[in-house]
Structure 1
Amino acid sequence: MKVQFGPGGWVQWPDSDEFSIEFMRLLGAAQEGGSMISECFLAASRIDPTDGGDSWYREWIAMADLSNERADAAFKRGHVLTARSNWLRAINYYQASAFGLDAADTKQERALLAMRGCARSYIEHMTPAGEVVEIPWLEGHALEGYFLPAPRAFHQSPVVVCMGDPGHRKEESLFKVARYARDRGMSLLAVDLFGSGTGAKFDEVVGRSDLETSVGHVMDYLYTRDDIDEHRIAILSDGLESSFVARGVALDNRFAAAVCDGGIWDMHERAFLMNRLSLSSSGTEGGWLGPKLRCPLLITLGEQGWLESDYVTDLFERLKAEHPDVSLKIFESSETAAAHGHRDNPTLANEFIFDWVADRLESVSA
């Protein structure tokens, strides 16, 4: 197993970028309880990234099954804390095993069904218990979410909505961000676009031009609950590959704070398309969200991410001219959390993000 260090940091398999990036995410999840470093390296030692993904699936599904079996055995003995820890790691390993598989592949279906079963067991045995919720959206395709109430909440609590980019699954929020909301007295609603099941209709949904309408439906659902403070709702978009959450926030003035790209990715894609078509970029301002965003906004990215920091800084300055209450945090390579999506150190990014959210929501109640 050949390991290299490059400008973006440590690379497990230099000839396989996709598997190396996913492996970095798995290791980063260890400090959040989503994996164990020793288990990750054990699995990696048995993986041949050139075999078309066969060994990748085999090793991660085996690790996931083992964690799931440990969880079930611990639960039967009454050791709920150990069961929860193992369910949490199993969720991540099952997700990893499905990485790169086609939606029609029965191996992916098997992994995702097991992942969802672990997630439901995990939230059911939290204190206080979480719940699986259904949120109306499209005809025949409701959104599904995991609602985790704030601990010791005897009154209406602030809530953070975690809504990943298309392709991101809500189960990842259980180990990636849930504790940051819980430790700050916030409820969490984790939602994705897959709906219930394994997401068989996802390809039909993700191609829609109105994905941002899902954000308003999530807010409508929260307004039906009597255990949250409707004036202190924040939203966190987990990723920077799409601006649909930013567009949704621009259409809905009920959010008290938002952590998303502010429409930067949309601007990037529009400019790229104009260049490819050799068209004037003067029309790219048509989708600019600056004047429409009304709540406090935070944009974060890593210095080694897919978008160059100088480019993002330029767009940020343009956004700030029209929306003064916007902040930009660029994590530099010298401090880590600098990879795309902060995969190399999600802890550092989440501490910053949730402190910012807590400050904004506290100012609403002050």
Structure 2
Amino acid sequence: MRFEAITPEQAFWSDREDLSIEFTRLLALAQEGGSTVAQCLRAASRIDFSDDDSWHAEWMRIADKNRERGDAALRDGNVLTSNSNWLRAIGYYQAASFPFERSDKQYQAAVGNMRRCAASYVRHRDPPGEVILIPWPGFYPLEAYLLPPRNDAGPWPVVICIGEPGMRKEEYLFKTARYANQRGMSLLAVDLLGAGPDSQFDEVAGRSDLETAIGHIMDYLVERADVDRTRIAILADGCGSSFVARSIVFDDRFAAAVCDGGLWDLHERAFLMGGTPFETEFLRQGLSRVARNIKCPVLISTGERAWLTPDRVRELYDHVKASGCDLTLKIFEDGETAVMQGHADNPTLANEYIFDWISSRLGIS
């Protein structure tokens, strides 16, 4: 199986849609500093896409070279160059881990190196960030990266970036950090995978109370003297479930949220109705407890090729909006890109819109 073509939307390999989507995501991250187009094309030209080990080996090869180049630049005192190379290494190590289960040695090797590059970047950026542990009672502590903005006028507003339960936080270091930094916000990048080997995650992922983690993250932030506790937002990147939406229902300390607003929860409940008249009545009354009880302004950002069709999103949005929620809907159309799930094909365009919206809700000029 050979590399066939690249279009602005997707590189495609027959029978490997999963790797095609991952490669598209990685190419799009070039504009954010998480890769370079030339290095991606070079790696792709060497991969046998019928062989996951080949995929892993080529992305590890290019990730290692960027990591080594970053380490060498630091020894020479060229910190900006070291940071750029570590960020690219993070993107490539993430790609290398993609086809494998968390228990596989290939995954562990890639993620271990990725976390080391992330820690190096956080320590050496300007201003330096922190690698922190947040208690999550009953579970393992949550690891997070806290990146302050480049000014000394704290306390600062903060945006929490968290993905779906299995997503890793490291890509936020290049994917969203600069948008927060440019707008005078601290960024807290966090995931649910813990600080060490994440085999325990399997015991947590299926729980119905994942949203409890968000409250403990907020508890940590409001105790910090450098955080403006009245201006904390949350960005649930790529979420197709409502665990973040469920969390903000029970917590009125959030000033703004970018998440599905309970739409996925509403969709699943309606789907179980099987298209019966009960579903129509369910939607008419807006019986989603999540959607009805969110207190802060919410942005729902999606694309025309995301998991839910635009018509379905608008239908659900109209019912939630009618319940009185402060809700904004942005659907990116094919003509402008950012149309895939999680805006994976063009995160830049989506993040510009998202962080402008967050800034407006937090009162940042």
Q: Normalized against structure 2, the TM-score is what?
A: 0.94
Q: Give yes or no for the alignment of 1:76 onto 2:78.
A: no
Look up the match of 1:42.
42
The answer to whether the 8 Å contact 1:98/1:112 transfers is: yes
Partner-residue secondary structure (3-state), 1:9:
coil
Partner-residue secondary structure (3-state), 1:312:
helix
Look up the match of 1:261.
260
Aligned ranges 1:297-308 → 2 under 5 Å: 297-308=298-309
Q: How far has the Cα of 1:132 moved from its partner?
A: 0.8
The answer to whether the 8 Å contact 2:249/2:293 transfers is: yes
What is the number of equivalent residue pairs in this alignment? 360
Look up the match of 1:173.
172
Partner-residue secondary structure (3-state), 2:136:
strand
The answer to whether the 8 Å contact 2:295/2:325 transfers is: no
The answer to whether the 8 Å contact 2:294/2:325 transfers is: no
Partner-residue secondary structure (3-state), 1:94:
helix
Q: How far has the Cα of 1:325 moved from its partner?
A: 1.7
Distance across 2 between alignment mates of 1:246 and 1:348:
23
Deviates further, 347-356 or 290-299: 290-299
Over the aligned positions, Cα root-mean-square deviation in angstroms equals 1.9
The answer to whether the 8 Å contact 2:159/2:234 transfers is: yes
Q: How far has the Cα of 1:143 moved from its partner?
A: 1.0
Look up the match of 2:131.
132
Q: How far has the Cα of 1:2 moved from its partner?
A: 1.5
Q: Give yes or no for the alignment of 1:144 onto 2:146.
A: no
Distance across 2 between alignment mates of 1:122 and 1:10:
30
Label 1:291 to 1:39 Cα distance change in 2 as closer, same or farther (>3 A): same
* Residue type at the aligned position of 2:136: W
Q: Normalized against structure 1, the TM-score is what?
A: 0.94
Per-residue displacement from partner, 1:79-136 (whole Å, max 9, x unpaired)?
0000000000001111110002011111111111110000000000011110011111
Identity %: 54
Q: How far has the Cα of 1:344 moved from its partner?
A: 0.8
Q: Unaligned regions of 5+ residues in structure 1, if any?
A: none
Look up the match of 2:5.
3
Per-residue displacement from partner, 1:244-278 (whole Å, max 9, x unpaired)?
001001110000000000011122233334439x9
Label 1:25 to 1:198 Cα distance change in 2 as closer, same or farther (>3 A): farther
Distance across 1 between alignment mates of 2:306 and 2:137:
33
Partner-residue secondary structure (3-state), 1:219:
helix
Partner-residue secondary structure (3-state), 1:45:
helix
Look up the match of 2:200.
201
Per-residue displacement from partner, 1:272-317 (whole Å, max 9, x unpaired)?
34439x9964678654322211111100001111110100001001
The answer to whether the 8 Å contact 2:291/2:325 transfers is: no
The answer to whether the 8 Å contact 1:166/1:242 transfers is: no
Q: How far has the Cα of 1:11 moved from its partner?
A: 3.3
Distance across 1 between alignment mates of 2:325 and 2:192:
31
